Every structure is written in structure tokens, then in C-alpha cells.
A and B are shown apart, each in its own frame.
Chain A
Amino acid sequence: IAGITQAPTSQILAAGRRMTLRCTQDMRHNAMYWYRQDLGLGLRLIHYSNTAGTTGKGEVPDGYSVSRANTDDFPLTLASAVPSQTSVYFCASSDSGTTGTDTQYFGPGTRLTVL
């Protein structure tokens, strides 16, 4: 593994189903993030984690949950998917999350369609 990986690459999901998007990084970064990207809008932060064992809510957290059991993994769960959650989801990581120079590095993304 080099950098950040996400799985699946794409998924079509029936409304009401539960879905977990996986994210793994091998850079030993402390901070990890989940964003969604929709056409015409900037990246919007869903949840973040500044260190293993802690998580925080971003701009659009409703309908999503995360956990950070260890440094490398940061799964995003949709408990009951709705069509408005159709989007491209990016996972990112950074060294600290609490300094100005901290640069975020992105995974390849998961394209999710909820029907």
C-alpha cells in the first residue's frame, strides 16, 4: 500500500441500505478526514479525526458516522442511505490536523449512487 486507499471504487446502493466506505493510509498520519464532492460545490467535510480514538463532526455530518480504532483506518458508515447521499466521497489524511502548514493528501475516491 502506498498513500491512501479507498474501497469500493464505486457502488450503487438501494435507499435504506447500510453501507461502509473504507479508507486506509500507510503514512502514519495522525489526522484523517471524510469529504463529499458534489457538482458545483466545494468539498464538504463530513467527519474528521485528529488522532486515533477521537472523532469530530464537520460541516455535513447528518446521516453519517465514523470510527477511528487505530491510526491507519477511518471507515465511514451510512446507516440508512438516502438519494441525497449520492456523491463522490474522498478520504484524506494529514500529519497533524492542528497546524497551519498541515497538508492533506487524498485517496482516489468512492463514487456512490443511492437509488
Chain B
Amino acid sequence: GQNIDQPTEMTATEGAIVQINCTYQTSGFNGLFWYQQHAGEAPTFLSYNVLDGLEEKGRFSSFLSRSKGYSYLLLKELQMKDSASYLCAVRDRNYQLIWGAGTKLIIKP
């Protein structure tokens, strides 16, 4: 079966750096997405990786290793507004997105 694993919850301090990991086993691979979802709101797109390596976008970076079935989202200079759930999703061979359950990130002052 297809599976996306990410930690259920993480806690970090304002101003610090946090890394959220995602491992996947899917039938085929056509890219990996990270979304942010604030409580009670819709998911919003953060990043997309299809080739191995690091993609940087401001305070957020996303890394992919296809051979290891692994990705991480790196958030720098954490702000209170970064408190949210972060969803990892992989596009499989049928171009459907398979979603992880999300990582709830709690930022403490």
C-alpha cells in the first residue's frame, strides 16, 4: 500500500529553526508537496520538489531524496504565525496526491 509518515506533533521556540521530516512509500513518484494548514482553515501550498536536493523559498526550505523516500521541510526564524499543521503529499504514478496526516507545529515564545 501507499504510505506517508510524518511526526504527529512538534514543539519549537520562536526565532529558532525546526525540521519536519516526511518519509513515503508510494506506487510511483511524480513530485512531493508541502502545504501549511492553520487550524480551521484550508491547506495552502508551500513548496514542490521533484528532483533531489534543496529548494529554498524565503524562511522555508524543502529537501528531497528520492532514493531514500525522504523529504524534510525546514523553517527558519520561527514566528508565532508559523504555528500550524504541515502536510506532506506525494503525487503517485496516477498523478493522484497521497497525503500524510500532517505535523502539528507548536511555537512557544
Interface residues of A (CB under 8 A from B): 40-45, 48, 58, 90, 97-109
Task: Please list the 4 inter-chain residue pairs (A to B) with the smallest Cβ-Cβ separation, ordered nearest first.
Answer: A42-B99, A106-B42, A100-B30, A43-B99
Cα-based distance from A99 to B91 in the complex (angstroms): 9
Known contacts being A41-B101, A42-B99, A42-B101, is A100 close to B42, with CB within 8 Å?
A: no
Cα-based distance from A71 to B101 in the complex (angstroms): 30
Q: Which single member of A44, A48, A97 contacts B99 (CB below 8 Å)? A: A44
Within 8 A of A (CB), among B13-44: 30-31, 33, 41-44
Known contacts being A101-B48, A106-B43, A109-B42, is A45 close to B96, with CB within 8 Å?
A: yes
Cα-based distance from A102 to B33 in the complex (angstroms): 10
CB-based contact A100/B50 at 8 Å: yes
Known contacts being A42-B101, A101-B31, is A106 close to B44, with CB within 8 Å?
A: yes
CB-based contact B95/A104 at 8 Å: no
Q: Which of B87, B97, B98, B102 has the most CB of A within 10 A?
A: B97
Q: Which single member of A40, A99, A105, A107 contacts B101 (CB below 8 Å)? A: A40
A31 (CB) vs chain B CBs: closest residue = B95
Chain A interface main SS type: loop
CB-based contact A104/B97 at 8 Å: yes
Q: Cβ of B33: which chain A residues have Cβ within 8 Å of it?
A: 103
CB-based contact B44/A45 at 8 Å: no
Give 27 CB contacts A-B under 8 Å.
A40-B101, A42-B87, A42-B102, A43-B43, A44-B99, A45-B96, A45-B97, A58-B96, A97-B95, A98-B95, A100-B30, A100-B50, A100-B95, A101-B31, A101-B48, A101-B50, A102-B91, A102-B95, A103-B33, A103-B45, A103-B48, A104-B97, A105-B45, A106-B42, A106-B43, A107-B42, A109-B42
A105 (CB) vs chain B CBs: closest residue = B45
Known contacts being A40-B101, A42-B102, A103-B48, is A90 close to B95, with CB within 8 Å?
A: no
